[in-house]
Every structure is written in C-alpha cells, then in structure tokens.
Structure 1
C-alpha cells in the first residue's frame, strides 16, 4: 500500500522526503541530513523530468540506487569541503576543563597520602595525584584527566 502510494505520486515523494530531511537538519543540526536531503531533492527533480519520457527505465529500484549513490557522494564531498574551510577556534580549550586549569595554583585541602589528596578550586573539591605533601601546601596543576588532577609543589 505504501509502495503503491509512493509510486503514484512519483517524483514528488522524493521532493517531500528531501524537504523532511532538510527540516530534520534544522531541528537536529549536524550537517548530515543536509546531504541526504539534497540527494533526495536531486532524485525528485530527475524523477519529475523523466516521468513522462522514460518512466519504464526509471523504476523505484533505480531511484533508490541513485539516492544511495548521490547520498554517499554528497556526504563525502561535503565532509571534504568542510574540512578545507574549517577555521581554528578562538577558544580552543573551551570544552577541556582540565587543560584550562593547567598552571593554576591551589592549596591542598587534604594532604596527599599515598599519591592521592584533594584541593579546592572555586566551589569544587578535586582529587589530585602527586608526591606526598601535607595539607596547606601550595601546589601547581600540571595535567590530569576528567576525575583527577596531577599536581606538583608550587
């Protein structure tokens, strides 16, 4: 039933699919649905042009194959184009909180015992790794991961 309905409306089904994919791109940005939407629109336009001329050769299987080939081609071309036009960020450490803290100094809240202790930065207590030091010692952050900072004596 659905296949019959899609066949009856011909190229307009591809146009509708292309527009739906473009709307999805607006709602869920990521520059992926854009290329699929463009591929569907191209197949739709070709279908409308070919509809009266060679409809017996332009079956739904050929249309789907064309859509798949165009989709892969547009995704590849779009990714290549975006990679060439990409600009460096003016805030490269924006989403790397640990890298933003490297070089800062803090006072040990809890002593570093067996290589593990705590410091307070702002309103957050951070677990730290480093040489054993008593509480109250000034330390400098030299690196870390999402859950621990590496420190040395300042």
Structure 2
C-alpha cells in the first residue's frame, strides 16, 4: 500500500506529507511537527533529484526521512533552547519569588513557626521565628506557597 501511494504520487509524495505536517502544526501548535515537515520537504527535494536512480527505492526514502527527522528535531530543539533571551520580568510567573525582599506587617502572629501576612490583595502563609501580630517582617525566601520571613 505504501509503495503504491509513493509510486502514484512520485517524488511529490514527500511534498504532500511535508505540507500536511505543516498544516497539522498550524492546527495543533507545539513546534514539533514543523521539524518533521522540514525533513519530509528535504526528502522531497532529494526525491526530485534522485527519483529515477536504482538506489532511491521507497525503503531508502523512509530511512533518509527518519534520519532527517531525528536531525531536524535535535537541531530544532537546540535552536529553540538557545534562543531564550533575558527578560525584563524574570519573575513574571513566579509570584512568590518576586516577593522576596519586600516588607510587610504580620496580620496573624507567627506561633509555632507559622503565621500570616497580607501583601497586596493576597494573604500568604509565612514561616519564621515566633513574632506577635503587627510586627514588621522582611521576606527572605519562598518555598512553594509559603514565605520565610525574619523580623525587619
């Protein structure tokens, strides 16, 4: 069946596959299918050049496509990971980390190592030495949703 499809479409079968993968990438974006689509398009170019040769059977085409897919995915991952740049908001999605260094007043006293503080519109659970309510504290670290504080 695969052999019949490839023979009917000729070297254009790889172009059709590449364009179909690019369309699938648009429908379900994830920046993965694009690399496999590039491998299919490169295999299509090679097919246009080598179609009438004895060596360019469908088995060789699939091996070349598989190898090109692996290389394209690895190069794509390297390209994407190396293109991450510095941002002016490094803690944008790390709200608790962005609070480190701020000061606040204890809303609930720290007893047995746990208390509460209000920052902006949120009440945070704090850990630290036992302190009475109303004490000004400085946030020194964050651990998940809990903040570690010390007396300011």
Q: TM-score range by the shorter chain?
A: 0.7 to 0.9
How many residues get paired? 152
Q: Name the SS for the 2:90 alignment partner.
A: coil
Report Cα offsets for 1:54-89 as digits up to 9, x if no partner.
2x5323222121111112222233344445554322
Give the Cα–Cα distance (whole angstroms) in 2 for the partners of residues 73 and 124 of structure 1: 48
Structure 2 residue matching 1:126: 3-state secondary structure? strand
Gaps of 5+ in 2: none
> Any residues of structure 2 matched to 1:27-106 within 5 Å, and which?
27-51=27-51, 53-54=52-53, 56-106=54-104
| RMSD of equivalent CA atoms | 2.3
* SS at 1:47 equivalent: helix
Where does structure 1 lack aligned partners over 5 or more consecutive residues? none
Q: Distance in 2 between matches of 1:149 and 1:28?
A: 38
- Is 2:109–2:133's contact at 8 Å kept on the other side of the alignment? yes
String of CA shifts for 1:86-120, please: whole Å, max 9, x gaps.
43222222222122111111111211111111111
Moved >6 Å (runs of 4+): none
User: Normalising by the residue count of structure 2, what TM-score does the alignment of the two structures yield?
Assistant: 0.83
Q: State TM-score, norm by structure 1.
A: 0.82
